[in-house]
Amino acid sequence: MSKIKLAIVSRDYKEYLSMFECEAQLLQNYEVIYAGTDNDSVKLRRVQNESEVLISEPDIAAKFAHKCQSLLWIQSTWAGNNVLQKSDLKHIKVSGVKGIFAQRMSEYVLSYILYFHRKIEQYQNLKSKGVWQQLPIDILSNKTLGIMGLGSIGKQVASAANNLGMKVLGYSNSIKNITGVSEYIGDDLYAFTAKCDYLVNLLPETDTTIGMCDAKFFNHMKKNSIFINAGRGSIIDEPTSLIMAINKGFLSGAVLDVFEQEPLPQEHPYYLNPNIHITCHTAAVSEPTSVFEVFLENAQRYTNNNELLYLHDFNKGY
């Protein structure tokens, strides 16, 4: 029986190749025909002509996957596969990665909540001036976290916040009856935002989420609340909507991990605003060992003609 031709076109191709070699027994039906990061047509000619399966970051795959004549399955290394939505790939199975980001994302969200809640920056400023001053600090169980997107990541962030005693509200497309979470859908968006001391976006990028956080949205957030965006940058319609909401005092601040353009250009106004905290799309990185475990499970499903895990739904956009 001829082997399934696999191409690894990834920034982490060395790690994936070495893991493939370690699991050669389990992956005996697969043959790696290319491993690298190049996406020029000469090196990728064999990939384009012969590969049936591709492991790749979606931003890389989006540049050439539509030219691969034999391609049937892309194992993406990311949770959000919105960039592939625009490519002509609806005939191909695209599987994402889930179940590997929640711990890191929970750490990210809770670190910033505790940073603001325990007034770490204010104490640091007082210390730099040699001032001993006790600041009033509430307890976290009096605070509410709102989570936009109760998917694989949002659910786990909810549980971590519950464990710290926070009240948790969630907003998604459908009610899921998650213990410890008061759920909102559809037109109840502003009833939801108005109650949250901290609001984290964990929605995917889709036609309906692009531009969702506009001036009206920020005006409907609770006064002095904090907005955390770790979903996708395009949810903010334009930077001035967020900056104005902070400058006018509706919001105390924002924490942004994702941006419409990454890297965020050096001249971007977000850098200059002291109440905007920036990280570099590192809230929950795709760690190759964990991604490869998902691939291994899917590779066996693929050879046995079983449904793949975490398939991207091109109709829903996530």
Residues that bind ligand NDP (CB under 6 A): 79-80, 98, 101, 149-154, 171-174, 202-204, 206, 208-209, 230-232, 257-258, 281, 283-284, 318
Nearer to ligand NDP, 32 or 242 (CB): 242
The count of other CB atoms within 10 Å of the CB of residue 147 is: 30
Q: Which of 66, 104, 281, 301 is catalytic?
A: 281
CA distance 139 to 157: 19
- Shortest gap between Cβ of 277 and ligand NDP (angstroms)? 14
CB of 189 to ligand NDP, least distance (A): 8
Give the whole-angstrom CA distance, residue 74 versus residue 59: 12
Catalytic annotation present for 118: no
Task: Decide: 242 and 227 in contact? Cβ < 8 Å.
Answer: yes
Choosing from 117, 232, 277, 312, which is the catalytic residue? 232
In whole angstroms, the minimum distance from the beta carbon of 302 to ligand NDP comes to 21
Cβ-proximal residues to 281 (8 Å cutoff; 6+ apart), any chain: 257, 258, 259, 262
68/196 with CB nearer ligand NDP: 196
Burial 7-36 (b: 16+ CB within 10 A, else e): bbbbebbebbbebbeebeeebeebebbbbe
Q: Which is nearer to ligand NDP, 32 or 264 (CB)?
A: 264
Please, are residues 82 and 206 in contact by the beta-carbon 8 Å criterion? yes
As measured in angstroms, the least distance from the Cβ of 296 to ligand NDP is 19
Residue nearest to ligand NDP (CB): 151
Nearer to ligand NDP, 174 or 305 (CB): 174
232 is known as an active-site residue: yes
| DSSP 8-class letter at 165 | T
Give the residue numbers marked as catalytic.
Answer: 232, 281
